[in-house]
Amino acid sequence: GRELEVAQDHVWQRLFKEKLPWVVNGDDYTDQRNRNDLEQTRYSAGLRSLMIVPLLWQGKNSGSMAFRSKNPESFGEHEVGLGIEIAAQISGAIASANQYKQLAQQAQERERLALEQTLLAEIGRLTSSTLELDEVFESFVDRAKQLIPLDRAVISVNNPEGDSAIDAYVSGEKFSDDTTGVSYRIDDGFKKIASNAEAFNPNLDELKEMAISSPSEQARLDMGYRSLLMAPMIAQGNFVGTLTVR
The pLDDT tens digits of the residues spanning 119-168 come to 777 776 766 665 566 667 777 777 878 888 888 888 888 887 777 888 88
104 pLDDT above the threshold of 90: no
Alpha-carbon distance of 206 to 71, in angstroms, equals 60
pLDDT of residue 21: 92
The pLDDT tens digits of the residues spanning 55-69 come to 888 888 888 889 999
Predicted confidence band of residue 78 (pLDDT cuts 50, 70, 90): very high
How large a percentage of the chain has pLDDT more than 70? 88
41 pLDDT above the threshold of 70: yes
Alpha-carbon distance of 202 to 206, in angstroms, equals 6
Alpha-carbon distance of 245 to 227, in angstroms, equals 8
The pLDDT tens digits of the residues spanning 201-223 come to 889 999 899 888 888 888 888 88
Q: Which of 76, 73, 69, 61 is nearest to 6 (CA)?
A: 61
Q: Which amino acid is at 53?
A: V
Predicted confidence band of residue 184 (pLDDT cuts 50, 70, 90): confident
Alpha-carbon distance of 10 to 17, in angstroms, equals 10
28 pLDDT above the threshold of 70: yes
